[in-house]
């Protein structure tokens, strides 16, 4: 027992005299929601073609919330467009979209799908330092294009640099949704 105490005292003395470290533990990238405790919350990330399924689960209450997301990045790796299929508290599906903050509040995001094409226009309603946000309900037109895996052309204006146009494929989304059932 005396040896254990002596070793403990020696380790304590070493810790007190050691210079501050240039290294530290990196905190988890997963933010634990308010009301949850570390070790009682789990995040599952599952990749699919063009989409990622992210599910958060409270191990205490057994409640699970999932969303499906896709990010389109530019040549420098910065997010040019992101959208997530989410559900309201009462289960209604929505598509939450994010574009660079430079677009500003009120910027129009246009989704063009199919040969005709079917067009859906949303307007950003708020921005933070990084992104502006818009949300649309998942109606019959979008459901039809999700089932058909139609290519989706996304466009929005940027005050500096003009219009941005990119493809955000719906291909793979119906496969993710089938796994959720």
User: Distance between CA 76 and CA 54 in Å, rounded?
Assistant: 25
**Is residue 57 within 8 Å of 46, Cβ to Cβ?**
no
State pLDDT tens for residues 137-170.
Answer: 999 999 999 999 999 999 999 998 889 999 999 9
Residues contacting residue 86 through CB under 8 Å, at least 6 positions apart: 67, 93, 94, 95, 96
State pLDDT tens for residues 55-66.
Answer: 999 898 888 889
Pair type for strands 79-87 and 64-73 = antiparallel
Going through the chain in order, the beta strands assigned E by DSSP cover: 41-48, 51-58, 64-73, 79-87, 93-100, 108-113, 118-123, 126-127, 131-137, 152-158, 162-167
- The model's pTM: 0.81
Q: Which DSSP category does 37 fall into? A: -
Domains of the chain: 39-180 (2.60.40.1880)
Beta bridge partners of 111: 120, 154
pLDDT for the residue numbered 21: 83
């Amino acid at each position: 027992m005396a040896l254990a105490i002596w070793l403990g005292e020696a380790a304590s003395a070493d810790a007190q005299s050691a210079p501050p470290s240039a290294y530290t533990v990196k905190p988890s990238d997963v933010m634990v929601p308010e009301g949850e405790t570390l070790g009682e919350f789990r995040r599952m990330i599952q990749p699919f073609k063009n989409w990622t399924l992210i599910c958060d689960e409270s191990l205490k209450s057994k409640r699970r919330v999932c969303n499906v997301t896709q990010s389109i990045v530019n040549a420098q790796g910065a997010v040019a467009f992101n959208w997530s299929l989410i559900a309201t508290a009462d289960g209604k599906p929505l598509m939450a979209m994010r574009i660079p903050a430079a677009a500003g509040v009120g910027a129009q995001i246009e989704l063009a799908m199919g040969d005709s094409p079917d067009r859906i226009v949303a307007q950003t309603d708020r921005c933070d330092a990084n992104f502006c946000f818009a949300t649309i309900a998942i109606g019959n037109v979008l459901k039809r294009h999700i089932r058909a895996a139609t290519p989706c052309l996304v466009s929005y204006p940027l005050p500096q640099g003009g219009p941005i146009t990119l493809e955000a494929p719906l291909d793979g989304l119906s496969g993710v949704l089938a796994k959720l059932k």
